[in-house]
Every structure is written in structure tokens, then in C-alpha cells.
Amino acid sequence: MNFKILILDNKIPFALQNDLNEVNQFSSSKFGITFTVQNIDHDVSLIPLQTVQGYDRNNGKAELITKYILDPIALQTYVKTLVKQGQYHLVMYGWNMANVGDNMPSNTGINSYTSPLPMYPGTMFVQWACTAYNEGVVPNGTENWKNLIHEIYHSIVWLGKSLGFTINDFMDSDSQQRSYYKNSDPTAIDGNFSQTYAQFKPYLTQIINSLNPIKMEATLVRQSDDGKETKGTLTFGNQTACTLERPWLNNQANISCIPKGDYQMIWSHMIHLNEDHYQVMNVPNRTSIFLHEMNYVSQVEGCIGVGTSFADLNNDKELDLSLSRLALGRLETWGGHQNITLHIV
């Protein structure tokens, strides 16, 4: 199993592929990496991280400088709308430092930053500050790969720590308190990369195997069938909803609910309503079975309606579904458009 990394490319100012190739070449003798790149367009906002001794970038004079990072809480809140638990070991939000503009004071610096706490169990988060400058100072234009693997090593250490392993992170300060020791040469046998790799190497298999995708499962318990409609309860995660279906009429198309059993649900387009919803797949002798918004059993021909409660909405002495749109939204938000196993009992 490889170390799975998602790079969210927010206008990174250079082509990534050369850098990814360099990272894979460097790490190939140690562990495999699988990269996925997703382009995004997202506004950034900075907050101060710490004040340290540094140099004014305009006049070169030694002075205290304030290091800035992107607001980690706001950033992770946004990223969690794109990434679900169990998909990646590491999510890297790569952004173009030039997008900050000229409004920053001169005595500042912008940092990449590895969050020490996982964004999900088994998933670390890095904000990767990218610049086109480093791509131009070497012939092949791949100098940023060193910054990339630097943050990857940070994330592996912190992921191991989250699992309870005792691992030292020597990337920024090595065993002899030397700052970024030989950081420009990842292959140095006594540099910060080699020292840190020696720390997490004994636990690497366990760290990589710690990523267990969450199996999405929902259970529909049919509670009553009076020959006119079937009422039930749908449980998903720690939430529940009421369900309303046609009565059981031997799985006849358009007039019967579907058979009990285990099914896969996928996010799909419902032509009849011109909307996207969860579709129940591989139903024997039936097609186009969806979970969707409805109030009355007459509004389905085999599909499953969901609501927050039962009520006689039209005074016909039959129970209908209340607040169906709200309940459906809760289900679809929980599912996050991922595949779901549906148990109907």
C-alpha cells in the first residue's frame, strides 16, 4: 500500500509533474507514494504564526520578522467539504504566494505549515506555500520538490505520533539542534531527511496501513405494510429518518416496493426530476430506484421517500412524510456522494 497524497492545486505557479516525479524518484527506495491532483479556485487569508529573528527582505538588515500562514481552522473547514475521511494519508493545499499581493509589511515571511493534529483520523493536512522562483534556479525547474518532500516527512512523523509512536522530527532542527541541516540535499546520509527517515522507518508499514476507508452503511427497517404503503426507519451514522414506500406486491414494477436485501447506492442523476440523488443499484428486475424527496406514497413507483416524521398531511387517514427535503439533505450530506451499502430488512 502506498502513501496516498491529495494535492489541492490553488493556482500553483508552476507545472507540478516534474516535482512529483522527483519526489517519487527520491522516495522509491523507501516507500511508494500515490499522488492525486485536484485543481481548485479558493481565496486565501493569512494570520500571524510567530515572530522570529530574520532579515528585512527589502534592505537585508537583521530584525525580527513575523511569519504568516493561512488560517488553519478556516482552511480545514473548507477542505473538509472536498475530502472525506479515509481517502488520503495526506492532503496538501498548495497555493501561490504571489496571490497575497503587495499589502504585506516588509518584515514578514510566509510559511508552509504541517498541522500537528490530523484533520481526520489517519489523515494529515499541510498548507504548501508555493513560489515560481525556485522553479527557475535549477536547469530542470524542479527545486520545489525538496519543499514538497520536506512537508511530507513532517506529516509522516506527526501521523505516527497520532498513532502513539515515539518519533522525533528532525526536519527543522536535527539531533544536534542544527536548523534545517543539509535541507537542500535530501540525499545527504547525515542530513535532516536521513535522520528523520530513520526515526519513522520502523513504524512506516503501520503508519501507511492505518488508513482505513470508512465503510458507509445505512439500514432501512420496514416496520409496517398495510397493503397501501410501507413505513420504515432509515438509520445512517448516528442519524435516523422515516421512510415511505409502496406496499410489497411481489416486486411488480411501478406499484411495489423493492425486495429486502443488501444493495449498493451510488450518487447518480435522476432523469425524472432532473436532480442528483442516491440510486439503489442492482435491484432484481427493477431500474431507476432512488431515494428522493416526497410527501405522499402516490409520488413514488418503487423509489424510497425519506422524511423527518410521519403525519397525515392531506387528511386521508394515511400517514405521509413531513419535512422530506430536510431529511434527504441530512442523508446526502452524511453520505458525501460516496457509495453507500443499503441494508433493507
Enumerate the domain spans of the chain.
Answer: 3-208, 217-344
User: Which one-letter amino acid corresponds to residue 19?
Assistant: D
Mean pLDDT, residues 216-222 taken together:
95
Mean pLDDT, residues 163-170 taken together:
91
Distance (Å, whole) CA 118 – CA 124: 5
Confidence of residue 105 (pLDDT cuts 50, 70, 90): low
Average pLDDT, the chain: 88
The confidence score (pLDDT) of residue 206 equals 86
- 165-167-168 Cα angle (round to 5): 160
The confidence score (pLDDT) of residue 132 equals 64
Least confident of 39-53, 67-81, 258-272: 39-53
Query: Cβ(75)–Cβ(93) under 8 Å?
Result: yes
- Taking the model in full, what pTM does it have? 0.60
pLDDT over threshold 80, residue 63: no
Of all residues in the chain, the percent with pLDDT exceeding 70 is 90
Beta strands in the chain (DSSP E): 3-10, 33-39, 46-55, 62-70, 90-96, 108-110, 113-114, 124-130, 217-225, 230-236, 239-245, 261-270, 275-280, 289-293, 304-307, 309-311, 320-322, 340-344
The confidence score (pLDDT) of residue 316 equals 92
Mean pLDDT, residues 314-322 taken together:
94
Looking at per-residue pLDDT, the higher value among 162 and 49 belongs to 162
SS3 233: strand
User: Which one-letter amino acid corresponds to residue 73?
Assistant: I
CB-count burial class (<10 Å; 0-12, 13-18, 19+) for 234? buried
Looking at per-residue pLDDT, the higher value among 35 and 144 belongs to 35
Which CATH entry fits the domain spanning 3-208: 3.40.390, 1.10.287, 3.40.50, 3.40.190? 3.40.390
Mean pLDDT, residues 298-315 taken together:
95
